[in-house]
């Protein structure tokens, strides 16, 4: 399937690069429907890889790349069914999204996240599976999960630890603060900063450059420098599920969901 | 280092310009969520613009409960 147009995302091949566009209002919150379509993409990826040398992941929404997991759905999941079943559902969701993230992480082509605006939580984790992050000048990153009594659950901590120094990881994780592109580039997360609205164009230029090289060599180089922390990724799911079943998390999610003020994304 | 008044003035100018509000309608003690008509995502956008403008890093937890331009200016001034 060389192109697809779904309810939350679409893909097509443009000049030898797969362009995976996220477009679920309001800011690409990742819930069951997005996961279903991400799984479709992961299943199509081996075939697409024969036709393309790079993958660009981007958002068509003004608000940003992605605000992360769909917290309203996560809250509702805990309300509608009994606790043990809710926990099983959360674990199943995490295992499925990890499988998608791992497929993107190990894809034998160069992957580029072109991000702008809000790149939070699960959205940040989606960017982290990519080989290169190109960020619009107005991009903002955050792991806000501790504010809810949780840790990132889509593979964020092991991948952040893979790419950054541990002191930086602790700062970002334990304060839950958001930070801009200058900081993101300074700590080694973002490789290129684009002008406002130009991240996709810069990503396309980068995809064109990587397309000049022998694909097998590029895939071998990637595999050599980008180990997948499978053991820590599994441990992350266990810790997330241990934390999820506590009343403090339900209260944190309820506070977010029922917040009708202007500041749900601020601490 | 600019004075707090100068910092406040630059914040008001930037907010008026970016959110398309007449500058004369903004005063230091305005609730910027109401005056600018912005939500939390737009507030983060404003924070990023202010960080770039003043070349500072201002963690968002320092803005907890802050909704007026004058207090915002004081938080920024402390980072200059």
Q: Do B41 and A64 touch (CB under 8 A)?
A: yes
pLDDT for A90-121, tens place per residue? 999 999 999 999 999 999 999 999 999 999 99
Residue A247 has pLDDT above 90, yes or no: no
Please tell me if residue A116 touches chain B, with a CB cutoff of 8 Å.
Answer: no
Residue A186 has pLDDT above 90, yes or no: yes
A7-29: average pLDDT: 96
* A48: three-class secondary structure by DSSP: helix
Residue A170 has pLDDT above 70, yes or no: yes
Residue B49's Cα: distance from chain center in Å? 9
Spatial contact of A115 and A28, defined as CB atoms under 8 Å apart: no
Confidence bin at A261 (pLDDT 50/70/90): low
pLDDT at A260 (0 to 100): 63
The residue range of the domain holding B31 is 4-77
Who among B40, B51, B57 is closest to A263 (CB)? B40
Please tell me if residue A182 touches chain B, with a CB cutoff of 8 Å.
Answer: yes
pLDDT for B3-50, tens place per residue? 989 999 999 999 999 999 999 999 999 998 899 988 888 888 999 999
Q: Do B43 and A178 touch (CB under 8 A)?
A: no
- Taking the CA of residue A180 and the nearest CA in chain B, the distance in Å comes to 6
Domains of chain A by residue range: 4-258
Total Cβ atoms within 10 A of residue A14:
13
Segment among A8-12, A58-62, A124-128, A241-245 with least mean pLDDT:
A241-245
Q: Do A265 and B40 touch (CB under 8 A)?
A: yes
Q: Residue B40's closest CA among A27, A24, A196, A30?
A: A27
What's the DSSP call for residue A69?
Answer: B
pLDDT at A251 (0 to 100): 86
Please tell me if residue A137 touches chain B, with a CB cutoff of 8 Å.
Answer: yes
Phi-psi region of A3 (alpha: psi -120 to 50; beta: other; left: phi over 0): beta
Whole-number Å distance between alpha carbons of A68 and A142: 10
If one compares A266 and B34, the residue with the highest pLDDT of the two is: B34
What's the DSSP call for residue A251?
Answer: H
**Assigned CATH for A4-258:** 3.90.226.10
pLDDT at A11 (0 to 100): 98
pLDDT at A7 (0 to 100): 97
Confidence bin at B1 (pLDDT 50/70/90): confident
A61-76: average pLDDT: 91
Segment among A177-181, A218-222, A263-267 with least mean pLDDT:
A263-267
Spatial contact of A104 and A222, defined as CB atoms under 8 Å apart: no
- Looking at the structure of chain B, the number of domains it has is 1
Whole-number Å distance between alpha carbons of A246 and A228: 30
pLDDT at A180 (0 to 100): 96
Residue A79 has pLDDT above 90, yes or no: no
Q: Do A267 and B45 touch (CB under 8 A)?
A: no
Q: Do A138 and B48 touch (CB under 8 A)?
A: yes
In DSSP terms, A18 is beta-bridged to A13, A55
Q: Do B52 and A183 touch (CB under 8 A)?
A: no
Residue B57 has pLDDT above 80, yes or no: yes
pLDDT at A2 (0 to 100): 85
Residue A264 has pLDDT above 80, yes or no: no
Who among B40, B48, B63 is closest to A180 (CB)? B48
Residue A9 has pLDDT above 90, yes or no: yes
């Amino acid at each position: 399937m060389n192109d697809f147009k779904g309810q939350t995302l679409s893909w097509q091949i443009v000049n030898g690069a797969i362009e995976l566009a996220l477009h679920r209002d309001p800011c690409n919150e990742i819930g069951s429907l997005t996961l279903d379509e991400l799984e479709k993409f992961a299943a199509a990826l081996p075939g697409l890889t024969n036709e393309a040398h790079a993958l660009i992941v981007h958002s068509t929404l003004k608000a940003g790349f992605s605000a992360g997991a769909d917290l309203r759905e996560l809250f509702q999941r805990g309300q509608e069914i009994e606790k043990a079943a809710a926990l099983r559902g959360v674990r199943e969701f995490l295992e499925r999204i990890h499988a998608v993230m791992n497929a993107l992480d190990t894809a034998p082509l160069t992957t580029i996240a072109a991000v702008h605006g809000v790149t939070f939580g699960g959205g940040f984790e989606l960017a982290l599976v990519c080989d290169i992050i190109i960020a619009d000048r107005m991009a903002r990153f955050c792991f806000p999960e501790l504010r809810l009594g949780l840790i990132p659950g889509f593979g964020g901590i092991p991948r952040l630890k893979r790419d950054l120094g541990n002191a930086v990881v602790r700062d970002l994780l334990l304060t839950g603060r958001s930070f801009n592109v200058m900081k993101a580039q300074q700590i080694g997360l973002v490789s290129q900063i684009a002008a406002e609205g130009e991240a996709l164009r810069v990503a396309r230029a980068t995809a064109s450059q990587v397309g000049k090289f022998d694909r097998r060599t590029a895939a071998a180089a990637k595999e050599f420098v980008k180990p997948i922390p499978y053991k820590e990724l599994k441990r992350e799911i266990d810790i997330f599920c241990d934390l999820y079943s506590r009343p403090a998390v339900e209260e944190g999610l309820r506070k977010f969901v029922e917040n009708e003020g202007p500041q749900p994304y601020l601490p | 280092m600019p004075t707090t008044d100068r910092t406040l003035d630059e914040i008001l100018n930037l907010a008026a310009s970016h959110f398309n509000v007449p500058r004369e309608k903004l005063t230091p003690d305005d609730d910027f969520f109401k005056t600018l008509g912005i939500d939390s995502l737009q507030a983060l956008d404003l924070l990023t613009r202010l960080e770039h403008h003043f070349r500072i890093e201002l963690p968002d937890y320092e803005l907890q409960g802050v909704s007026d331009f004058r207090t915002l200016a004081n938080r920024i001034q402390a980072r200059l």
